Structure formats: structure tokens, C-alpha cells
Chain A
Amino acid sequence: MDVWRKARHPRSRRAGDPQASADAGPPPLSTRLSRVRSKLSSVRARRLLPLAVLAPIVLAGCQLPDFGAYKGATSQGRDAYKLWQGFFVAGIVVGGFVLCLIVWAVFRYRRHHDAEIPRQTQYRHRIEILYTVLPIFVVVGLFVFTVITENEVDAVPKSPVTVDVTAFQWGWQFYYPSTGKVVVGETLEEPQMVLPVNEQVTIHLESADVIHGFYVPEFNFSRYAQPGVVNTFNFNVLHTGVFRGQCTQLCGLYHSLMIFSVKAVPPATFDSWVHQTSGRQPSIGQLKAQIHANGPGA
């Protein structure tokens, strides 16, 4: 507040107004209020007033739209989705502000007379400091929310169900160590990972050959499957359904076809499913040999 006031009134003092230079202290409250009031009544302020009133209403307004993203079918994905909404709103506010400034400058200051030379303004230190310091606060704010969400998304609380996911060129293997159940399939066969809903499930992800990307759009999550590195993360699926997944990291010839799906079922159904024997499944090596010989989906 103090800084704001100082920034506003140096002109009168510098101009050598004896009253102003004698009165070094803050002006009385009533003077300040009337100044604010006169500012508000100025044309520019009147133009901005509806914006200032509407913005908080719109922002606080009950339900934010999804801005194109999935709402997140897991609790982790839901957290990421909320962060996305926050970033999107911040983006609209900051980007919109800058956009308005650009548009205003472009339409307002066209050249009319070629001989005239405008005032050669080069430095206004106060505003320069302002637009250096304010963005730092915005960035710190965004960072704080990022770290909070990141910790929630990346947390790996203890869970009864574990799935070992192995990516390979060009398919997926889902292995359930508790019962030894295996689901494996390549490209168009679309192997399906079955998970219980409303339960923390831990996934161990790695790759048998090159780097792949394990991506479930509706979970708002992806992670690299890498050779020699096991990535661990949790899913807590919030409702039943089938969710499509796909490899996102370029992994060679049939990268485009490397799809899978995730099916979320009630825990009881999951238990009976995971205890059924999976029968004889081909090994990853056999599938790779097959796809190299006959092409995808053979």
C-alpha cells in the first residue's frame, strides 16, 4: 500500500510544490479516498470496473469447465485435472492481459503523420520493476500448487494389488505377482489390464527393449517404460469402465499400433478374475519373433 502511494505522487513533490514538499508524511485518509474515488470515476477506470467485478464471480463461479482435458478417472488423475484447471485460468488471466495490451497498442497507436516523432520514452523504472517482480509471485504461486499436486500424483502408498507392466516392441505384458496371472498381447490384439476400483493399485513399469510410453489419457497420466529402470506409481480408479491406453514414446516401426486398455471392475470381480488361471500365454520373445516375421496383429 505504501509503495503504491509513493509511486503515485512524486510528481507534485518534484515539481516543487511547497505544500507537497513540506508535507512529507502521508496525506490524510480522506484525501486518499477522494483520490481513489476520482480515479474510479475516470473513463478508463469505468471501463475496467465491470471486468473487476465480473472476474472474481466468473472465477469463483460454481463449476469451472474442463478446458478440453479429461476429468481424471483416478484420484491421481483428478488431482492433475484440478491443477490443469488452475493453470488454464491463470493462463487466460495473464495471457489475456498481455493479449489486451498488444491489441490495444496495435489499434491505438497507428501512424498518421510521417513527419511527427513521438516522445522517445525508453525507461520507466517503476513499471519495469513491477513487471519483473509481479510475474515472480505468479510463478511462485504456480510452483507451490505444482509441488502439492505432484506429491499427490507421485505418492505410492502401500497397496494390496500390484501389477508388473512390461512394454516391448510392440505390445504389453501385465503380470499379477500375487497369483501369477499374465495378460500379454501385441499391437491390434489390445491386451487388457484389469484393476479393482476404489483401491490403491501399485504399478511397476519397465521395458524389455527400447523406451516406450505408458499412457492412459483418461487417467491423466503417462510414464516412460525404460529398459533397466523400474518406475513405480499408483492408480486409484474411481469408477468402473474400460479406458484406452497407448504407447506415446516413439518405439520403432509399429509405434502407432501399440495400444492396450485398462478395465476397472468391482474388487470382488477382480478377485475372481485374478485367480482364474491365465492358461498358456506366449512369452514376450515369441511375440516379438512373430511380429517381426508376420507383421502386427498376425
Chain B
Amino acid sequence: MTDVITPPTTTDAGIRIPQVFEPTEHHGHEEHGPTGLLKWLTSTDHKVIGLSYMITSIVIFYIAGIMALIIRLQLTSPTNSLVSFSQYNELFTMHGSLMLYLFAGPFAFGGLANYIVPLQVGAPDMAFPRLNALSYWLYLSGSITMLLGFLVAGGAASFGWVAYAPLSNATNSPGLGGDIWIMALVLTGFSAIFTGVNLVATIFYLRAPGMTMFRMPIFTWNMLVTAILILIAFPVLTAALIMLFCDRHFGTHIFSVQGGGSPVLWQNLFWFFGHPEVYILALPFFGIVTEVIPVFSRKPVFGYKGMVFATLSIAALSTGVWAHHMFTTGVVLLPFFSLLSLLIAVPTGIKFFNWIGTMWRGHLLFATPMLFSIGFLFAFLMGGVTGVMLASPPIDFFTHDTYFVVAHFHQVLFGTAVFAGFAGLYYWYPKMFGRLLRDNLGKWHFWLMFIGFWVCFMPQYVVGLLGMPRRVAQYPADLGWQSYNIISTVGAFIIAASFAVLLWNLWISWRKPVLCGDNPWDAHTLEWFTTSPPPHHNYSHLPPIRSERPTWDYNHPDAPSIDHGVGRGHDANGHNGSRKEMVSS
């Protein structure tokens, strides 16, 4: 094979791209079945379903974002009457529910994973394509059901996204809104479980020849672990929701004291789902960053195996830390949950050092996906440090349910789902459409969002420490909280502006495409070996898979081989890694 590496070219979008062209002719873009709308309605192709997931979840993201803006506007003055108390409760309940259940998770394991994982392991589709379609349609109907809550008498659910019993029972939250909320989550819960099954089966059974477990890209690894966590956590949530529904309608007293039930049981069940859920929302995005940083540093992932084991230990620990959300209930064993929660910092730290190690002595190119990934590092570092503080019960006692916690989990979740999530969108958009998103607009998006992020959430830490509780529509005027809230609202609107830029970018890049070839980033992993967008069944032929970077190996046969650091400068085959050596001549 003689590959031609042309000198770097500059695209219309202003990115310097080391173009790698395959001399082989592009396999024909065969299409099966219906086209147009009917294709989107009937397809079982993982790529079409993945795109449907992504489009739906990004629409949800914008809707939930608008709710956040209304919430922030309400808080600009202490006794604002922009929305009523009940509307405010509905707004933050739905903001949280949409963002957590219907955006962050489905965008990652429904959208990106659906599209990318089969490509990364060299499979023609997901293991159960029809189940996959069912997942999407359950998710879509769940999302529509959730939004319909606003239309029923009594309004949408207003008991918070955690639906603590007994506030969520029929006495304290009567009306259809709560029932609709429960049913929507049962639908999307089943959707998530089916996707989890599908991902596990795909990754275990449909890997291409040569794609051993330790040659899988980290994104695929993280999706495997995420899928396992889904299978652990979501059945618990779905079961708990059905119990709650029975409490509301059939006179069971599972979560009410009057009938001998226990409200704390709801918290235990919910957080036994809820804390793995936090990592269901985080691990896919760690995976995205671990794809992006090596490509734009031109190096392999530093400490690949350490990364895998760190992910596995995060998953294992995450099933034993749920009660750190319940430190102030007074009925949990504080030292146990505190220690396990603190320990999660260790594998997370390993990930941080591996990301830094990947960049170390690399050749960094700051295209938009890389910028978003580095933004993620800063955001998640801040969220992580405050997370360690919250793992200590005496500190949690005075920050629990205040804006300190709000700031913490927004920095974590915004850092992962938004910074890393949109890094993934910018990174894989060329894979999906064979065209680039504009890089200059992408940088506008990034910098506005990065600035808005800090302006929005840092004041919330301060006002939280001053004692401002979360989920309040009004607050006393004489405590000096207003200025912090105004700054925070300004930040929220800067973030909103950045997402207007993204819309414009999507529109302009669609109308005036910048074609980019199959592999604009000179990326490493298998999905970039096929055409962009990939043909119906993904691959007509595969490269030899000898490492976790088959496409890189194929495109750079003369590149220095991987330095395993064993015996100083010699790789496992005894080649000297520090010299350029013709391994595959």
C-alpha cells in the first residue's frame, strides 16, 4: 500500500488539515429500502437511528435550555413575579428531567454510541437492529409524553427531578402531571435498558477479526461499561417508578409512613439508580474526550490499559456511593459512603493524568473538537474538586441542597454532557455527513460557552455558601444574594448566545457544505477507515487490526511505533521506539 500524505491544505473553514487520501476508489454508496421521510420512520440502520436520537435529544436540550433561561430570569430579582411559585416548580422539575433523562443520556448512549460503536468495532450494524428501532421510538414517545405534561390540568410534574416521596404521592402532588412524568420515564427507562442490551451484545459479539477487547477504542470501552451500568441502574428506577405509580393510584403504601412504608426507601432506590446514572452520563463523554485528545495530539492514548481499568473501577465504585446524596437524612452509614465517594477521585484522577499524558510532548492542534475537550478538562476539574468536598459529610451538611451543590453538579454535567458532548458532535459530524462544521463559528461557540460557563456557575458557589437554597422562586432581599444571581443570569445568556451560534453553524454548514474527505482529522480509530458518511453496512473491506489505532497504522506505516515504556525506549517487539523505523516495508 502506498498512501499519499499530501501537504497540509486549508479548507474554507480555515482549518489546516493533514489530508490523508486513500488511493482506492470509494465503494459505491448503496442505498436499500425507502428514502426520505419513510426511511427515517422505518429504518433499522444504526446510523439513521443514531442520528434520530441525536436530533431529538438536541431539540430537547434547546427546550430545557430555554427553561433554564426563564429560571435564571426569575432569580434576577428577589421577589420577581415573572412566573408563579407553581410554574417555577414545574420549570426546574422539567429542566432537570429533560436535561438528565432525555438529553444527556440519550445523546450519548442513544445517539453517538449508536452511530459510532458499531463502526468502531467494525460491525455492520447493532446486534439487534429492530430492538434498536424500538428503543428510539420508545424514547421519542417518552419525550413527547414528558413534554405533554405542560398541557394537562394542574400543570407538569413539580416535585423535582428526584421526585422524593412523600411529596410525590397523590395527596401532596395530585393531578395528571406527576403520572405523565412517571409514565414518560418508564418508557424512556425501557428504551435505555434495550439500548444497554444492544450495546453489550454488539461489543461482545460483533467485533471485527483482530479487534480484541484491548484493541477497542476507549469510547467503545466506555460505552460497554456505560451499558452495563444501565443494566444495573435503570431496572431499579423503572421498578421504583412503578411502585410510586401504585402508591399514587392503587393504595399501596410503599413510600408512605401511614401504611407502614418508608419515604427513605424511595431515596435509596432512586439514588441506587441515580448515582450510577451520574456515571452513565459521564463515562460516554470521558470516552469522547479520550478519542479527541489523542487525535489532535497525534499520539496514542497515554496509559490505555490504565484508562480501561480506571473506567471499570469508577463503574464498580459508582454502585456503592448512592447514599452520599442522603448524608443529611441522618439514616445512612456516613463513613462507608464517604470513603467510597472519596475513592472515586482516584480513578478519575488517573483519567486526568492520562489525558494530560496524552497531550504531553504531543503536537496539539486546536481545532474545535480539541478546544471543547480542553474546555471539558477545566470544567470537570472544577466540578471534581468541589465533588471531593461534597463527599465529606460535615461539609455536605452545610452545602447540601444549596446553590453550592447546584454549581457543582452543573459544572460536572455541563462539563461532560455539553463540553465533551459537543466536542463529539464537532468531531464526528464529518464522519456522519462528509462535511465539516465551520471551524471559525465553532470557535465562537466554544469561547462564548466557556466564558458563559464560568460567569454562570462560579457565583452560584458563593451564593450557596452564603446559604441560598436551591429550588426557591424567591429569596430575601436583604442578604446580598441578588448581585450573584444577576451575574449568574448574565452567564446563562452568554451560554445561550453560544448555542445560537451553534444553530447558525449547523444551518450554514448544511447550506454551504465544506467537503472534507473521509478522514479530515487524520484520526486513529476504525470508524475513519470507511467512507464518510459510511455506506449502508459500513465496511466493504477492513484494514488489518493490529493495535487500537488501525486507521492510523494503515495511513502511517512509516510512523514511529508505539513506545510501551518497557525496557526504556523499546517496544514489545524489541524495536527501538525512539527512532523512525520501517516496520512495515
A residues in contact (CB < 8 Å) with B:
10-11, 14, 68-70, 77, 79-80, 83-84, 87-88, 90-91, 94-95, 98-99, 101-102, 105-106, 109-125, 127-128, 131-132, 135-136, 138-139, 142-143, 146-147, 149-150, 153-154, 169, 209-211, 213, 215, 217-224, 226-229, 231, 233, 244, 246-257, 259
Contacts and interface: CB of A to CB of B under 8 A. Distances in A.
B565 A123 contact: yes
B365 A111 contact: yes
Nearest to A139: B342
B303 A122 contact: yes
Given A98-B381, A119-B560, A139-B342, A149 B167 contact: no
Contact of A121 (B299, B329, B346): B299
A209 B172 CA distance: 9
Given A131-B353, A142-B388, A118 B394 contact: no
B439 interface: no
Nearest to A124: B565
Interface in B385-413: 385-386, 388-389, 392-395, 397-398, 400-402
Interface string B324-337: 00001111001100
A3 to B, nearest CB: 17
A150 to B, nearest CB: 5
Nearest to A87: B389
A249 B472 CA distance: 10
Contacts of A84: 389, 394-395
B215 interface: no
A209 B350 CA distance: 45
B164 interface: yes
8 contacts: A119-B563, A143-B338, A213-B469, A220-B394, A223-B397, A246-B467, A250-B160, A255-B89
Interface of B: 5, 7-8, 16, 18, 85-86, 88-89, 159-160, 164, 166-167, 172-173, 257, 262-264, 297-306, 328-331, 334-335, 338-339, 342-343, 345-346, 349-350, 352-353, 356-357, 359-366, 374, 377-378, 381-382, 384-386, 388-389, 392-395, 397-398, 400-402, 461-462, 465-467, 469-476, 479, 556, 559-568, 577-578
Nearest to B16: A114
Contact of B159 (A106, A149, A222, A250): A250
Given A150-B393, A244-B476, A250-B471, 10 more contacts: A70-B467, A98-B352, A98-B356, A106-B359, A115-B18, A211-B167, A215-B467, A229-B329, A231-B330, A257-B474
A274 B306 CA distance: 63
A259 to B, nearest CB: 8
B565 A121 contact: yes
A14 to B, nearest CB: 6
A249 B71 CA distance: 18
A80 to B, nearest CB: 4
Contacts of A251: 167
Contacts of B302: 121-124
Contact of B393 (A123, A146, A228): A146
Contact of A114 (B8, B164, B398): B8
Contact of A228 (B262, B356, B366): B262
A217 B467 contact: yes
Contacts of B334: 150, 154
Given A105-B359, A146-B392, A255 B172 contact: no
Contacts of A231: 329-330
A191 to B, nearest CB: 16
A228 B256 CA distance: 9
Contacts of B89: 250, 252-253, 255
A102 B363 contact: no
Contacts of B462: 68
Given A95-B381, A122-B301, A254-B85, A150 B335 contact: yes
Contacts of A114: 7-8, 16, 18
A51 to B, nearest CB: 19
Contact of B299 (A94, A95, A98, A120): A120
A135 B567 CA distance: 26
Contact of A120 (B300, B469, B567): B300
A131 B472 CA distance: 42
Pairs A-B, 5 closest by C-beta atoms: A217-B467, A228-B257, A248-B401, A256-B472, A111-B363
Nearest to B260: A228
